[in-house]
Amino acid sequence: MATTNILGPARSRVDGPLKVTGRAKYAVEFVVPQCSYAWPVESNIAKGKITAIDSKAAQAAPGVLKILTHENAPKIKKASGGMMKGIPGEQRNPLSDDEVYYAGQYVALVVARTIEQARYAASLVRVSYAPEEPLLNMEDAEHKAKKPKKNNDEHVQLTKGDVESALQNHDLVRLEQTYYTPTETHNPIEMSGTIAQWDGDKKLNVWDATQFVKGVQNLLAESFDLEVENVRVVSPFVGGAFGCKGATWPHVLLAAMAAKATGTPVKFHLPRKLMFTGTGHRTPTRQTLTMAATTDGKLQAIRHVSDTLTSPVAEFTESCGARSTGLMYACPAIRVEETVFPVNIATPTFMRAPGECPGTFALECALDELSYLLQMDPVQLRLTNHADNHPTKDVPFSAKHLKEAYQLGAEKFGWSKREAMHSKMRDGNLLVGWGMATATYPAHKMSAAAKATLRADGSALVQCATHDLGTGAYTAFTQISSEQLGVPFEKVTFELGKSDFPFGPVAGGSNSTGTVGTAIHEVALLLHGALADLAIADSKSSLHGAKKDDIAMVVPGRIGFKNDSAKSDSYTDILRRAGKDAIAVESKLGAPEENKKLAFQSWGAQFCEVKIDPLLPRVQVTRFVSVINGGRIVNEKTARSQIMGGVVMGIGMALTEETAYDPKTGMPVTANLADYHVPTNADIPPIEVHFVGEPDFAFNPIGARGLGEIGITGTAAAVANAVYHATGKRVRDLPITPDKLM
Ligand code: MOS
């Protein structure tokens, strides 16, 4: 089961020069003439009704064009959206009534000539409320709790075998613990923002920082009752997203409403503070893991009960149990229960590996605890319970190479030198701890289409309404286009980020490389077919009169007979003889082929070393090794960066990140980068990334399963497990701040 050559060339980013020279234009950097600026007024209560809005002073302030409230805002329709049609961030339209559902909700919007004028005028708006008692935590919202059946079409309440009787079997080793993760907030460098410009009543141009241009397009068309093609959304570069730009949030609708109401283009660019209420966050979680295993480490039962929050204006489930315990280990009895509590706090959303990330924290810490009870090596415990088949779907996993990941990770890390007992390893005065965890993330398949134009000079242009969130997608798609079309890398241009292009799905669920890669594969076949048509009809071609089905690309730049590749013709000769400057083809948007006989999932092994000064127990991560099995790796360099980024974010989750709320108002009190602590360079050690496995051609013709999210999974558990190994202290509530180790 050796690793085959899965690494694509480590190309540097094709958009790198544009970015480092400042020529890459992000959504709100587009210059739209006569643009005005929006600044919101936010509710400072968590629940209640607006009784009055006094905007006289604000209206009289310099530069003010309009103040929108629920009393005068343009009425728009409630768009339903869908996975292919846009994801509404909230079920309620902004400024649609006098209700307040959470602190930070937009209750008015000032539009002025300059951003300073808008901000100043917003400070003058006086809003009166009839406050009601808000629900701010799980205990408050107990009576409103729901157990959703499904999340994105996947079951979230799972039952397999007889969990209860296994848990009562006294011959088994049993463990039960509860783990907590706090609210975490995405903090991309580029804050969300939208410019909306009406062209008459029926056409709308939008520049938006988004993971889903087609979704924004469709939701705006639905909301404002426009023809879809009359809404144009542009988003060529995105400065990080992590999930917070996947849904269409109220500010996008408000920008378009304000532009309509003022008759000017309007820019609504969120300041950092509003990123904590206006574009989602990761819900806090409470997860209780109960497991029973034989004395030689065979799991007999796992129960994973997870509790998470949502808001009154959204349905969101952070599916912790189903997306970890539901699929990670072979076990005869599995039970997953997920409960969602609606509270009067701003709406949560997907954040890098929603479900898997907190889910693997709880499960992988519990397994570590079990390893000490069993006196068994943590890697050995996982190997003992390795799942060849999906444990709750009971079909084999495709191209799963997790055992190799453990093995290579252990080797690179030097795991065999680990002291089995905790609190035994030292480096001078420092306590040293080694911990590990499993990483996992599903391979999601969505639908996309692409357009390819081949020019007589041998260059090609490929277009799809997909996205590059800073991940390297431009580069990976250029590489895939080059390989699939058979055109040199330097001669391919790949364009994305425009709703005018053929459909691209949300850049979420780590699906883009595989999904758009498949669309590129399909459009390449169409292009070769179009070239074949020309050659077959051309008496000067060596393919003249051939059957189209017998012809395919035989080497880059040439089509020829599949069974006799010596008979071939070059793209440029075919076009030249046909007297064409270029030919263009576009693939059709279809439903993705589903293979129900296999389960598609990516895997990895995370190994972490920490060092801790016992007198001031601040955790320093000093080494990290991540070994990933994600199918074929299109670009070794950008793929490595994706995994490193995930690990960095996981270290932040483990040690520093927490959005704290005022317990009275439900308003975030850490709504800036000074109080919300993301890791800096000084917090991050060298991160070693390796890839194992084989191309997963059962999944798609590119063989790639996607890498955006898996890097964060298991990471926080590996850190927490290392902290226990160093200190003998088990911290079950993140982040692991020094006070918890005193
Ligand atoms: Mo990712 S959290 O699916 O954008």
Cβ atoms of 158 and 326 closer than 8 Å: yes
**Cα–Cα nearest to 533, from 547, 554, 522:** 547
Nearest CA among 303, 309, 306, 316 for reference residue 286: 306
pLDDT of residue 730: 98
- Which helix (H) or strand (E) segment holds residue 439: the answer is strand 430-442
Q: What is the mean pLDDT of residues 405-424?
A: 98
Q: What atom in ligand 1 is closest to the CA of residue 509?
A: 3
What CA–CA distance (Å, rounded) separates 254 from 585?
A: 37
Residue with tokens 């955790």: 619
Tell which of 551, 568, 586 closes a domain. Answer: 586
pLDDT band per the 50, 70, 90 thresholds, residue 592? confident
Give the global pTM.
0.98
CA of 211 from ligand 1 middle (Å) equals: 9
d(CA 607, CA 378): 11
Please state, in angstroms and as integers, the Cα–Cα distance from residue 119 to each residue in 18, 206, 272, following that order. Answer: 32, 22, 14
Do 433 and 465 lie in one domain? The reply is no
354 close to ligand 1 (CB < 6 Angstrom): yes
CB 486 less than 6 A from any atom of ligand 1: no
**Residues 451 and 579 grouped into a single domain:** yes
pLDDT for 3 equals 67
Q: What integer pLDDT is reported at residue 373 of this predicted model?
A: 98
Q: Report the residue count for the chain.
A: 742
Q: What is the pLDDT of residues 448-485, one digit of tens each?
A: 999 999 999 999 999 999 999 999 999 999 999 999 99
- Does residue 1 carry a pLDDT above 60? no
Confirm whether 464 is domain-assigned.
yes
Residues 66, 277 contacting (CB under 8 angstroms):
no
Verify that 489 and 576 share a domain, yes or no. yes
**Distance (Å) of CA 510 to CA 354, 436, 704:** 11, 23, 11
Query: What's the whole-number mean pLDDT along residues 305-326?
Result: 97
Name the residue type at position 479.
Q
Asked if residue 442 has its Cβ within 6 Å of ligand 1, the reply is no
- Give yes or no: residues 554 and 456 share one domain: yes
515 domain-assigned: yes
Mutate which of 154, 281, 653, 709 for ligand 1 pocket (most atoms within 8 A of beta carbon): 709
- Beta carbons of 326 and 392 less than 8 angstroms apart: yes
Of 529, 553, 586, the one marking the end of a domain is 586
Q: Strand, helix or coil at 100?
A: strand
Q: Is 215 in the pocket of ligand 1 (CB under 6 A)?
A: no
Q: Which two tokens stand for residue 407?
A: 């093995």
Q: Report which ligand 1 atom has the smallest distance to the Cα of 241.
A: 4
Cα 634 from Cα 590, distance rounded (Å): 24
pLDDT at res. 408: 98
Separation of alpha carbons 357 and 444, rounded Å: 16
**Residue from 196, 708, 229 nearest 465 by CA:** 229
- Domain total for the chain? 2
Cα–Cα distance, 467 to 217 (Å, whole number): 14
Bridge partners (DSSP) listed for residue 154: 151
CA dist 16 and 13 (Å) reads: 5
CATH code for the domain in which residue 458 is found: 3.30.365.10
Residues 521 and 658 in one domain: no
Burial of 503 (0-12, 13-18, 19+ CB in 10 A): buried
pLDDT for residue 143: 97
Tell me the CA–centroid distance for residue 680 and ligand 1, in Å.
22
| Stretch 320-332: mean pLDDT | 98
Query: Does residue 528 share a domain with residue 500?
Result: yes
User: Ligand 1: does its nearest atom lie under 6 Å from the Cβ of 509?
Assistant: yes
pLDDT digit string, tens, across residues 163-216 = 999 999 999 999 999 999 999 999 999 999 999 999 999 999 999 999 999 999
Number of the ligand 1 atom closest to the C-alpha atom of 354: 2
Q: Tell me, yes or no, whether 606 and 731 share the same domain.
A: yes
User: Is a pLDDT exceeding 60 seen at residue 344?
Assistant: yes
Tokens of 178: 């509860």
Residues 631 and 686 in one domain: yes
Q: Which atom of ligand 1 lies nearest, measured to the CA of 349?
A: 2
* 244 CB within 6 A, ligand 1: no
Q: List residues with catalytic annotation.
A: 709
The CA distance from 393 to 604, in Å, is 21
Q: Which of 542, 567, 586 is the last residue of a domain?
A: 586
Residue with tokens 């990290």: 624
Q: Are the CB atoms for 650 and 625 separated by under 8 Å? A: no
- The answer to whether the CB of 351 is under 6 A from ligand 1 is yes
**Long-range contacts of the stretch 561-569 (C-beta < 8 A, 24+):** 567/542, 567/543, 568/542, 568/543, 569/535, 569/541, 569/542, 569/543
- Residue of 49, 193, 63 whose CA lies nearest to 121: 63
Residues 200 and 605: their CA atoms lie apart, in Å, by: 55
Torsion angle defined by CA atoms of residues 540, 546, 550 and 553, in that order, rounded to the nearest 10 degrees? 10
Mean pLDDT of 5-15: 94
Residues 425 and 452 in one domain: no
In a domain, 136, yes or no: no
3 state DSSP class of 628: strand
Helices (H) and strands (E) in the chain, counts: 14, 29
* CA 641 – ligand 1 centroid, Å: 17
Residue 170 falls within a domain, yes or no?
A: no
The pLDDT of residue 153 is 86
Expressed as residue numbers, the domain containing 719 is 395-444+596-741
- Give a yes or no: residue 621 inside a domain: yes
* Strand ranges of the sheet holding 106-112, from the earlier edge strand across to the other edge: 64-68, 106-112, 36-42, 266-269, 193-199, 203-208, 231-234
The answer on pLDDT for 359 being more than 80 is yes
For residue 375, report the phi and psi dihedrals to the nearest 5 degrees. Answer: 55, 55
Q: Give domain status of residue 104, yes or no.
A: no
Q: What secondary structure, in 3-state letters, does 196-224 show?
A: EEEECCCEEEEEECCCCHHHHHHHHHHHH
Question: In the predicted model, what is the mean pLDDT of residues 667-689?
Answer: 97
Cβ 613 vs Cβ 429: under 8 Å: yes
Per the structure block, which two tokens stand in for 288?
């209780």
Looking at the predicted structure, is the pLDDT value of residue 638 above 90?
yes
Same domain flag for 718 and 600: yes
Residue 524 sits in the same domain as residue 581: yes
Which of 600, 679, 674 is closest to 646 using CA atoms? Answer: 679
Q: Does residue 316 carry a pLDDT above 80?
A: yes
Distance of alpha carbon 512 from its chain centroid, rounded? 10
Q: Which atom of ligand 1 sits closest to the CA of residue 211?
A: 4
Distance 416 CA to ligand 1 centre (A): 36
DSSP letter for each residue of 415-432: GGG--SSTT-EEETTEEE
Asked if residue 509 belongs to a domain, the reply is yes
Residue 735: cis peptide before it, omega within 30 degrees of 0 = yes
Distance 351 CA to ligand 1 centre (A): 5
The reply to whether 459 and 438 lie within a common domain is no
Confidence class of residue 594 from pLDDT cuts 50, 70 and 90?
A: confident
Establish if 452 belongs to a structural domain.
yes
Q: How much is the average pLDDT of 302-315? A: 97
Ligand 1 center–CA 32 separation, angstroms: 30
* pLDDT, tens only, 374-407: 999 999 999 999 999 999 999 999 999 999 999 9
Placement of tokens 């808000």 in the chain: 134
The H or E element that residue 255 is part of is: helix 250-262
Please check whether residue 36 is in contact with residue 113, taking contact to mean a CB–CB distance below 8 angstroms.
yes
DSSP 540-570: TSTTTT--GGGEEEEETTEEEETTEEEEEEE
φ, ψ at 88 (rounded to 5°): -65, 130
The rounded distance, in Å, linking the Cα atoms of 388 and 367 is: 19
